[in-house]
A and B are shown apart, each in its own frame.
Chain A
């Protein structure tokens, strides 16, 4: 069965370190998204991609970057981790606009 997986599931890192969260999907979807989930805010969009070599900023993109070198993967990099980036991160992929997005299980990141 097709799926979307995130790794690691849990990560503790120190302030100032670079961190990369992996997202891999086998749906062959062109659209991929990264969100962060914080209490009281729901899910907020960090970055998204409509296909290989395409990346776009979301509403909370400062301090994050993504790259899309193939269809399956959209890694999220925190350039210099800050305590404000402690959160749960979800990756999602989708087909056309009338289709649902499929979500990974999330990565809980703690910056100390």
Chain B
């Protein structure tokens, strides 16, 4: 079975400073990994995905993530936070050879201060 752990329930940054949202996964098979963003009272939007190609993945709005198999991690970063980045972020895993079910972490709330 696969699982995802988002290491921080809340992350607080100042506008213009770097963002780091941490995600570790557990999987018996080769994973596909995704980051989604959810703004207040909205649906889920895909930020980026890793599917066994390049380990450094670039997404929308300046976000990127690096797949590190040795550390079973898929951390999300952004060089400079913007007020509009304030939202809930979810790390999601699906596994090849597994059940195909997208399994969610509990989410990280990103707070951006002016």
| Interfacial residues, chain A to chain B (CB-CB below 8 A) | 31, 33, 35, 40-45, 48, 50, 58, 90, 92, 94, 96-101, 103-106
Number of A-B residue pairs with CB-CB distance less than 8 Å in the complex they form: 51
Contacts of A105 in B (CB 8 A): 42-43
Q: Residue B100 contacts which of A43, A50, A100 (CB distance < 8 angstroms)?
A: A50
| Interfacial residues, chain B to chain A (CB-CB below 8 A) | 9, 32, 34, 36, 42-44, 46, 49, 51-52, 90, 92, 94-96, 98, 100-107
**Chain A binding surface SS class:** strand
**Provided the pairs A31-B100, A100-B49 are in contact, do residues A42 and B44 lie with their beta carbons within 8 angstroms?**
no
Contacts of B95 in A (CB 8 A): 97
Q: Is the CB of B101 within 8 A of A45?
A: yes
Contacts of A41 in B (CB 8 A): 106
Q: Is the CB of A42 within 8 A of B104?
A: yes
Q: Is the CB of A98 within 8 A of B43?
A: no
**Assembled-state Cα–Cα distance A104/B42 (Å):** 10
Contacts of B90 in A (CB 8 A): 42-43
Q: Is the CB of B52 within 8 A of A106?
A: no
Q: What is the distance, in angstroms, from A19's C-beta to the closest C-beta of chain B?
A: 20
Contacts of B51 in A (CB 8 A): 98-99
Nearest residue, chain B, Cβ from A6? B43
**Provided the pairs A97-B32, A97-B96 are in contact, do residues A90 and B104 lie with their beta carbons within 8 angstroms?**
no
Q: Is the CB of B106 within 8 A of A101?
A: no
Q: Is the CB of A101 within 8 A of B102?
A: yes
Q: What is the distance, in angstroms, from A30's C-beta to the closest C-beta of chain B?
A: 10
**Provided the pairs A42-B90, A43-B90, A104-B43 are in contact, do residues A98 and B52 lie with their beta carbons within 8 angstroms?**
yes
Contacts of B102 in A (CB 8 A): 33, 92, 94, 101
Q: Is the CB of B100 within 8 A of A42?
A: no
Q: Is the CB of B43 within 8 A of A43?
A: no
Contacts of B101 in A (CB 8 A): 33, 45, 48, 58
**Assembled-state Cα–Cα distance A48/B95 (Å):** 16
Q: Which 5 A-B pairs have the closest CB atoms?
A: A42-B106, A98-B51, A43-B104, A103-B44, A105-B43
